[in-house]
């Protein structure tokens, strides 16, 4: 039983491994650093066709074209930034998994901070109000005095 499971596991593992290696088989890199940059780029670039997949995971023909282009540009000696810029110019910010900091996206960073500040402000405001001393009028003070005296007796 356990042996069967082990065999099944290793079979699945090997399938996954060969599938991911297959994507790179046709590509020849000049050095390990270039290969690393390539791997990082295809993880960071998003497939516009099958959304929510990066171009490393996607089997869409478009993702294949984008991997090809990434490889070609790396071979031409282009930098990581240049390749990202090239893709964004054609497919928009959507294509990069690290959105740039713009006026519209700034709400994603500042929004939560803003909400926390409101929360703290409200909490502080409410507790302060409770602590505030109660001012008694002349009449109330007299009445209090009376009650105290009557309590003593």
The residues of the shown chain that bind other proteins, judged by CB under 8 A, are: 48-49, 51, 61-62, 65, 69, 88-94, 122, 125
Query: Closest CB to other proteins among 19 and 118?
Result: 118
Q: Tell me the C-alpha distance between 76 and 130, whole Å.
A: 70
Q: Which is nearer to other proteins, 85 or 140 (CB)?
A: 85
In whole angstroms, the minimum distance from the beta carbon of 1 to other proteins comes to 45
- Whole-number minimum distance, CB 8 to other proteins, in Å? 36
**Residue reference for tokens 């491994």:** 17
In angstroms, the CA 105 to CA 46 distance is 18
- Cβ proximity of 22 and 15 under 8 Å: no
Beta carbon of residue 54, minimum distance to other proteins (angstroms, whole number): 15
């Amino acid at each position: 039983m356990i042996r069967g499971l082990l065999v099944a596991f290793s079979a699945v593992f090997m399938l996954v491994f060969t599938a991911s290696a297959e994507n790179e088989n046709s590509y020849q890199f000049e050095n390990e650093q270039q290969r690393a940059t390539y791997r990082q780029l295809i993880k960071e670039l998003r497939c516009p066709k099958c959304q929510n997949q990066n171009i490393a995971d996607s089997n869409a023909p478009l993702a294949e074209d984008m991997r090809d282009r990434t490889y070609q540009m790396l071979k031409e000696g282009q930098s990581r930034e240049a390749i990202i810029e090239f893709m964004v110019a054609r497919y928009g910010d959507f294509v990069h998994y690290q959105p740039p900091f713009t006026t519209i996206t700034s709400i994603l960073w500042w929004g939560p901070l803003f909400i926390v500040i409101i929360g703290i402000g409200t909490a502080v405001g409410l507790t302060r109000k409770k602590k505030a001393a109660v001012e008694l009028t002349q009449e109330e003070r007299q009445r209090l005095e009376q009650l105290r005296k009557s309590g003593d007796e």
